């Protein structure tokens, strides 16, 4: 499918079918949605070897194209990652359904009652790279929140995505729901992405998951509202009042848990008074994992590392590379984070509760943490079930976007024949 006219027709058909399905899902009971999620989980479990086989084919092709270690890591499916997909589906089925929830009921002086009802967004377009588990995770959240979805994964994961999508549709049909509730763009032609971004007639919101280049392109091109984050430039600040062993463990885990996730620490800030105690030990541990360190001038007076430059403070490495900076104190740490950070996730390690409050109040990120590595920034770990993405915007959804982030609210107004002006 290379002709742009054919792609437009194909995508328009997906959009129309998705809109029809969204109207059905908006009225679907929680019980039926949960049944579908559990049927999908069962099918994925039964088809796990088929999924792994297709993923092996994708991995082989991706390695030929040398797409990079970070993307390879995201692309690879293992038994554990399939177990996680299944677990995520079951967790989402157990979560309370936000649709129809009535809040903020308030009587007014006029006698009318005003409240808000949670409703689905409608049709969600999700554009993502590499991670085939997103196919199941994103679809599950959309389904539970009463939204249909159009999924467009990267060409490097097309076979993995197709087999997972087949499992999704089987679960829907088995539960009596329209298979068009979850659709996958089967063409790898990039024109399909551009077309999806212009489908404001059918699509209510776009959620991109991928590298900065992809997200930037989508944000600039889309006629549909976008929930996004561009970078995951995350920081950990080791304060002078930290417990040293705890601080070292946190700083090590924040970087080495997984290099390719957006919550990985990219810059470590260290108070000058504890630098000489923690940096030599961290150098030893990072070196054992092959992590390349780039430090400021003050860092190089304590340990020998590569010189960091201005670009390093602005870079999301998604690789075993870490920037180090020694700071005078909390104020400088916060200034650095707010200047160079991406509003994703930042953490302070300290035993001083007053400094924690200042950090939480002044760091302008979607997640701020205390005595934790930034890699905890994850919807599943936050109790949201699987996440459809992380938003660093300041719209209705910020941070990991779970069920509530995939809904909106409408006003419900009740009266008893009150006439305005009388």
Q: Please, what is the average pLDDT of the chain? A: 94
| pLDDT at position 11 | 97
How far, rounded to the nearest angstrom, does the alpha carbon of residue 141 sit from its chain's CA centroid? 12
pTM confidence score: 0.84
Handedness of CA 331, 332, 337, 339 (dihedral sign): positive
| 160 and 12 assigned to the same domain | yes
| pLDDT at position 419 | 87
Helices 133-144, 79-94: inter-axial angle, 10-degree rounding: 0
What is the domain range of residue 113?
4-227+401-413
Instruction: Tell me: pLDDT of 153 over 60.
Output: yes
**What is the mean pLDDT of the segment spanning 88-111?**
90
Token reading at 349: 């390690």
| 201 and 245 assigned to the same domain | no
Reported as a single tens digit per residue, the pLDDT across 159-196 is 999 999 999 999 999 999 999 999 999 999 999 999 99
Domain membership of residue 145 (yes or no) is yes
| 192 and 326 assigned to the same domain | no
| 36 and 133 assigned to the same domain | yes
Domain membership of residue 418 (yes or no) is no
Domain membership of residue 421 (yes or no) is no
**What is the mean pLDDT of the segment spanning 258-272?**
95
Which CATH number covers residue 14? 3.40.605.10
Domain membership of residue 420 (yes or no) is no
Instruction: Tell me: pLDDT of 209 over 80.
Output: yes
Structure confidence at residue 353 as a pLDDT band (50, 70, 90): very high
DSSP bridge pairs for 391: 399
Reported as a single tens digit per residue, the pLDDT across 61-93 is 999 998 888 788 889 999 999 999 999 899 999
| 111 and 180 assigned to the same domain | yes
To the nearest 10°, report the CA torsion of 398, 400, 402, 405. 10
Instruction: Tell me: pLDDT of 379 over 90.
Output: no
Reported as a single tens digit per residue, the pLDDT across 5-59 is 799 999 999 999 999 999 999 999 999 999 999 999 999 999 999 999 999 999 9
Token reading at 46: 């039964």
**What is the mean pLDDT of the segment spanning 395-412?**
90
Structure confidence at residue 1 as a pLDDT band (50, 70, 90): low
| 223 and 238 assigned to the same domain | no
Q: How does DSSP assign 352-378, residue by residue?
A: -HHHHHHHHHH--SSEEEESS-GGG--
Q: Would you say 102 and 412 are in contact if contact means Cβ atoms under 8 Å apart?
A: yes
How many other β-carbons are positioned within 10 Å of the β-carbon of residue 414? 11
Which CATH number covers residue 312? 3.40.309.10
Within 8 A by CB and 6+ apart from 66, the residues are none
Task: Give me the number of domains the chain comprises.
Answer: 2
**What is the mean pLDDT of the segment spanning 351-362?**
98
How far, rounded to the nearest angstrom, does the alpha carbon of residue 173 sit from its chain's CA centroid? 28
Spatial strand order of the sheet with 306-307 comes to 306-307, 292-295, 321-327, 265-271, 234-238, 345-349, 367-370
| pLDDT at position 74 | 85
Q: What percent of the chain shows pLDDT beyond 90?
A: 81
Residue of higher predicted confidence among 358 and 107: 358
Q: What is the DSSP letter of 155?
A: G
| 174 and 293 assigned to the same domain | no
| 171 and 241 assigned to the same domain | no
Domain membership of residue 419 (yes or no) is no
Residue of higher predicted confidence among 380 and 113: 113
| 158 and 25 assigned to the same domain | yes
Reported as a single tens digit per residue, the pLDDT across 294-336 is 999 999 999 999 999 999 999 999 999 999 999 999 999 999 9
Domain membership of residue 386 (yes or no) is no
**What is the mean pLDDT of the segment spanning 382-408?**
85
Nearest to 119 by CA among 143, 101, 95, 94: 101
Domain membership of residue 10 (yes or no) is yes
What whole-number distance in Å separates Cα of residue 44 and Cα of residue 42?
6
Instruction: Tell me: pLDDT of 156 over 80.
Output: yes
Q: Would you say 316 and 266 are in contact if contact means Cβ atoms under 8 Å apart?
A: yes
Q: What is the DSSP letter of 226?
A: B
Pairing of strands 399-400, 345-349: unpaired
| 30 and 146 assigned to the same domain | yes
Domain membership of residue 26 (yes or no) is yes
Reported as a single tens digit per residue, the pLDDT across 122-145 is 999 999 988 899 999 999 999 999
| 42 and 117 assigned to the same domain | yes
**What is the mean pLDDT of the segment spanning 208-235?**
88
Instruction: Tell me: pLDDT of 2 over 80.
Output: no
| 327 and 192 assigned to the same domain | no
């Amino acid at each position: 499918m290379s002709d742009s006219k054919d792609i437009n027709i194909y995508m328009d058909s997906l959009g129309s079918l998705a809109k029809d399905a969204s109207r059905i899902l908006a009225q679907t009971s929680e019980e039926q949605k949960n049944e579908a999620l559990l049927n999908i989980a069962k099918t994925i479990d039964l088809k796990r070897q088929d999924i792994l086989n297709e993923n092996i084919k994708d991995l082989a092709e991706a390695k030929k194209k040398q797409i990079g270690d970070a993307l390879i890591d995201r692309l690879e499916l293992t038994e554990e990652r399939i177990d996680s997909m299944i677990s995520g589906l079951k967790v989402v089925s157990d979560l309370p359904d936000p649709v129809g929830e009535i809040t903020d009921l308030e009587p007014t002086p006029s006698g009318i009652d005003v409240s808000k009802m949670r409703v689905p967004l409608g049709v969600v377009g999700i554009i993502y790279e590499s991670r085939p588990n997103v196919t199941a995770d994103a679809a599950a959240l959309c389904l539970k929140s009463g939204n249909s979805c159009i999924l467009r994964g990267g060409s490097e994961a097309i076979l993995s995505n197709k087999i997972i999508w087949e499992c999704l549709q089987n679960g829907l049909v088995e539960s009596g729901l329209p298979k068009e509730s979850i659709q996958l763009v089967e063409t790898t032609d990039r024109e399909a992405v551009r077309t999806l971004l212009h489908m404001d007639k059918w699509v209510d919101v776009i959620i991109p998951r991928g590298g900065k280049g992809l997200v930037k392109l989508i944000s600039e091109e889309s006629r549909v509202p976008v929930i996004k984050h561009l970078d995951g430039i995350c920081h950990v600040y080791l304060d002078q009042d930290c417990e040293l062993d705890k601080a070292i463990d946190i700083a090590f885990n924040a970087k080495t848990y997984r290099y390719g996730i957006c919550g990985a620490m990219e810059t470590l800030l260290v108070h000058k008074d504890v630098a000489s105690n923690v940096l030599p030990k961290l150098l030893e541990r990072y070196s054992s994992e092959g992590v390349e360190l780039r430090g400021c001038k003050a860092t190089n007076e304590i340990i020998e590392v590569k010189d960091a430059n201005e670009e390093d403070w602005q870079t999301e490495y998604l690789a075993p590379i870490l920037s180090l900076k020694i700071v005078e104190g909390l104020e400088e740490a916060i200034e650095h984070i707010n200047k160079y950070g991406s509003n994703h996730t930042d953490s302070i390690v300290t035993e001083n509760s007053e400094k924690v409050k200042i950090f939480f109040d002044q760091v302008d990120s979607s997640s701020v943490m205390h005595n934790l590595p930034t890699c905890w920034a994850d919807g599943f770990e936050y109790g949201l079930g699987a996440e459809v993405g992380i938003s660093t915007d300041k719209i209705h959804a910020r941070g990991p976007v779970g069920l509530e982030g995939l809904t909106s609210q409408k006003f419900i107004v009740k009266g008893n024949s009150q006439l305005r002006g009388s």
